[in-house]
């Protein structure tokens, strides 16, 4: 496949590079779509969301839901952080089939050992050490030189490999790290047999084309590298950066359900999954995730975390299939494809969850549909009158309840009722 990318040379210079094929591919007719892997981190980075604290049994319930959906690797926690966390990871490891169970670890022997103890009983145990690589983090957080950080990374992977082949490594704050040092660290961990290298936009700083260029540079330097993209949403670009990384050859993405995570959250699992599923033909990508379980899993996590997605949240928000403008409502009532690129059924909602919100910007078509659901079959003249009454009512109330719509319909049907009658009732 040909991909255009900026090569870092003269301003404006674009060169075409033929990048090698990568990853598992799934046949679609005569075409082959590459299957994206997921490092699902709702149970670890998601739990770092301020205000969230899962109990062990709750983490297991979420893990079981994620495994049932088909996610590859479950990032279950930070085993060294305390006994409750260790026991929660261990509980998941002993009760999950079909997905890798992972604990993260700092680049310290005791962290690596503790992570292994937590996941060792899993069907597919995984260890994921990490280290901060940017100049700011090295100086302020670690107080380490480049050489010291490089050795920390190397020895962490080497120690993990004594326990399992499933050792991944993350360069925390990759996108604010010197380019040559990124390559040095990757070279060191690859020599020790690392499986995946996670390139981390830890503070949501990267722009999509910058992140894509980084993936290109790493893959060009290390043709055999397997990249996982870890993106945060501080500038609202996490999903865009994750998709860009995949387009440029990353094999896996780190995601959180409902966009949970530190500060503004991680790339939202449901957004990445449905972006790929909806645009698979253009992205040449696909997923093995059961998308019909998105809503049940999102709601489970919202209930256990105590954090509901905002109403306008993509895919899982309460308004994702709600329509308020009259022009939109008329189009959707004629053919939902006019204003919807997914079906409610695709993510586990019944078709009845497609809602027409009757508000001051709504049209007659939406009102008629709403009233039909309530059992009213109005003539065109009655509908026109009911529409006028609804507009009057909305001058007094922000939203209309079912009883308000019924009152408008009954008033419109009654041959003797007047607008004043409705005004009296409202008073």
pLDDT at residue 226, as a whole number: 98
Residues 142 and 224 in one domain: yes
Nearest to 89 by CA among 54, 130, 131: 54
Rounded CA-CA distance 294/275 in Å is: 13
Percentage of the chain lying above the pLDDT 70 cut: 90
Average pLDDT of the segment spanning 258-284: 97
Average pLDDT of the segment spanning 175-193: 98
> Over 80: is that where the pLDDT of 19 sits?
no
The structure tokens listed for 263 are 């500060």
pLDDT at residue 390, as a whole number: 85
Alpha-carbon distances, residue 179 vs 20, 214, 247 (angstroms): 22, 8, 21
Average pLDDT of the segment spanning 322-342: 89
pLDDT at residue 240, as a whole number: 98
Residues 259 and 399 in one domain: no
- Convert the pLDDT of each residue in 350-387 to its tens digit: 988 888 777 778 888 888 888 888 889 989 988 888 88
Give the predicted TM-score (pTM) of the model.
0.85
Structural domain of residue 362, as residue ranges?
326-426
- Convert the pLDDT of each residue in 236-257 to its tens digit: 999 999 999 999 999 999 999 9
Residues 259 and 115 in one domain: yes
Label residue 186 exposed, middle or buried (CB < 10 Å: 0-12, 13-18, 19+). buried
Residue 154 lies in a domain: yes
The answer to whether residues 82 and 89 touch, using CB atoms and an 8 Å cutoff, is no
> Over 70: is that where the pLDDT of 332 sits?
yes
The answer to whether residues 25 and 36 touch, using CB atoms and an 8 Å cutoff, is no
- Convert the pLDDT of each residue in 377-405 to its tens digit: 989 988 888 888 888 888 888 888 788 88
> Over 70: is that where the pLDDT of 170 sits?
yes
DSSP string, 123-134: SSEEEEEEEE-S
Residue 362 lies in a domain: yes
From start to end of 328-427, where are the E strands?
355-356
Residues 253 and 340 in one domain: no
Of 289, 314, 347, the domain-final residue: 289
The answer to whether residues 79 and 115 touch, using CB atoms and an 8 Å cutoff, is yes
pLDDT at residue 9, as a whole number: 36
- Indicate the DSSP class of residue 294: H
Residue 20 lies in a domain: no
Rounded CA-CA distance 52/159 in Å is: 32
Residue 31 lies in a domain: yes
Kindly report which listed range (53-67, 182-196, 326-340) carries the lowest average pLDDT score: 326-340
The alpha carbon of residue 229 and the mean position of all alpha carbons in its chain are separated, in whole angstroms, by 12
Counted domains in the chain: 2
Residues 389 and 251 in one domain: no
Label residue 99 exposed, middle or buried (CB < 10 Å: 0-12, 13-18, 19+). buried
The H or E element spanning position 35 is strand 31-35
Rounded CA-CA distance 152/260 in Å is: 29
Rounded CA-CA distance 142/153 in Å is: 13
Alpha-carbon distances, residue 355 vs 271, 322, 343, 406 (angstroms): 21, 5, 12, 17
HSE, CB side, 13 Å, CA atoms: give it for residue 203: 10
């Amino acid at each position: 496949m040909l991909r255009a990318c900026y090569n870092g040379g003269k301003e404006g210079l674009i060169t075409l590079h033929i990048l090698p094929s990568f990853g598992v591919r799934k046949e679609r007719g005569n075409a082959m779509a590459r299957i994206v892997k997921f490092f699902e981190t709702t149970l670890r980075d998601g739990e770092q969301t301020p205000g969230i604290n899962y109990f062990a049994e709750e983490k297991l319930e979420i893990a079981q839901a994620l495994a049932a959906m088909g996610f590859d690797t479950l990032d279950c926690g930070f085993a060294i952080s305390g006994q409750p966390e260790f026991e929660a990871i261990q509980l998941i490891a002993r009760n999950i089939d079909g997905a890798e169970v992972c604990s993260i670890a700092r680049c310290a022997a005791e962290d690596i050992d503790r992570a292994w103890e937590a996941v060792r009983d899993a069907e597919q145990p995984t260890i994921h050490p990490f280290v901060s690589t940017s100049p700011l983090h090295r100086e302020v957080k670690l107080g380490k030189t480049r050489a010291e950080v490089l050795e920390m990374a190397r020895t962490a992977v080497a120690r993990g490999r004594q326990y399992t082949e499933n050792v991944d490594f993350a360069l925390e704050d990759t996108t604010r790290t010197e380019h040559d040092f990124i390559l040095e660290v990757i070279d060191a961990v690859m020599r020790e047999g690392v499986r995946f290298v996670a390139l981390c936009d830890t503070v949501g700083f990267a722009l999509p084309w910058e992140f894509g260029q980084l993936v290109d540079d790493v893959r060009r330097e290390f043709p055999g590298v397997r990249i996982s993209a870890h993106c945060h949403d501080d500038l609202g670009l996490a999903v865009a950066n994750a998709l860009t990384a995949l387009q440029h050859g990353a094999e896996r993405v780190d995601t959180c359900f409902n966009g949970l995570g530190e500060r503004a959250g991680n790339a939202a699992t449901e957004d990445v999954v449905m972006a790929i599923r909806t645009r698979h033909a253009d992205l040449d990508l696909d997923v093995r995730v059961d998308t019909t379980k998105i809503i049940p899993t999102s709601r489970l996590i919202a209930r256990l975390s105590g954090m509901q997605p905002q109403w306008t949240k993509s895919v899982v928000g309460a308004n994702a299939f709600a329509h308020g403008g009259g022009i939109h409502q008329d189009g959707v009532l004629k053919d939902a494809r006019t204003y919807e690129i997914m079906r409610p059924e695709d993510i586990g909602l019944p078709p009845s969850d497609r809602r027409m919100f009757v508000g001051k910007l709504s049209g007659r078509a939406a009102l008629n549909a709403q009233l039909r659901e309530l059992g009213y079959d109005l003539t065109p003249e009655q509908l026109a009158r009911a529409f006028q009454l609804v507009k009057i009512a909305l001058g007094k109330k922000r939203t209309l309840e079912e009883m308000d719509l019924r009152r408008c319909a009954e008033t419109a049907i009654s041959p003797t009722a007047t607008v004043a009658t409705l005004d009296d009732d409202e008073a």
